[in-house]
């Protein structure tokens, strides 16, 4: 598996979030609460998680879908899963 930095993951998360909600990636700040974004709801959270899972070939826990508040937290949770799956994320 290629080495993936947390910054890369953050950018990927931002891109997926922006795509799913049909907004500009710039509007998705690292510290924006995802719940405050237009149209964001549990179904979108699930869709974003599914894309991330597919992209990195990982599986995240249910609570990541429901408890994540910002891109930064979300990316950190993904980085942990990737690390546990064997790759070493750079920070």
Partner 1 sequence: MPSPTVTLLTPTTVVSPAERLTVPTFGDVVVDRPAHADWQRYLHELDPTTELAAVWISADAEPLPAVRALRSLTRFDRTRVYVVGPDTAGPVPGWAEALDVEDIVRPAAVAPEGLTTSVELALRAHRALMTDDLYTDFYLDMTFNKIFDWFETTRWDWKEVDLDRIEHGMLDERTVDFLTEAAVIEFGTLPGAHNFLREWQDEVSFSSWALQWGAEESRHSLVQARYLDQIGVKLRSKHALYKREPYPQGDVRSATLMMNVISESRASALYKALAAHISEPVIRKIWRLLARDEARHCRAFSVFMRELCDSNPAHQTAALSMAYIWLADRGNGVKHPAGMFYPHSTSAAGIRRIETIQQDSVDAADAKVMSIVRLLADDDSLETPRDIKAKLRDLARRSGAR
* Residue closer to partner 1, measured from CB, 54 or 91: 54
| Residue 11 CB coordination number (10 Å) | 15
Opening angle at CA 50, ends 17 and 56, nearest 5: 90
Residue 12 CB: number of other CB atoms within 10 A?
18
Q: Which is nearer to partner 1, 51 or 73 (CB)?
A: 51
Which parts of this chain interact with partner 1 (CB under 8 A)?
Answer: 42-43, 46-47, 49-51, 53-54, 59, 62-63, 65-67
Residue 47 CB, nearest approach to partner 1 (Å): 7
């Amino acid at each position: 598996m290629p080495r993936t930095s947390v910054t890369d993951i953050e950018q990927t998360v931002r891109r997926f979030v922006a795509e799913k909600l049909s907004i500009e990636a710039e509007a998705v700040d690292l510290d924006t609460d995802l719940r405050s974004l237009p149209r964001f709801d549990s179904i979108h959270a699930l869709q974003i998680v599914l894309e991330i899972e597919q992209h990195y070939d990982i599986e995240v826990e249910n609570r990541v879908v429901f408890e994540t508040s910002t891109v930064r937290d979300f990316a950190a949770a993904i980085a942990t899963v990737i690390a546990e799956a064997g790759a070493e994320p750079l920070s």
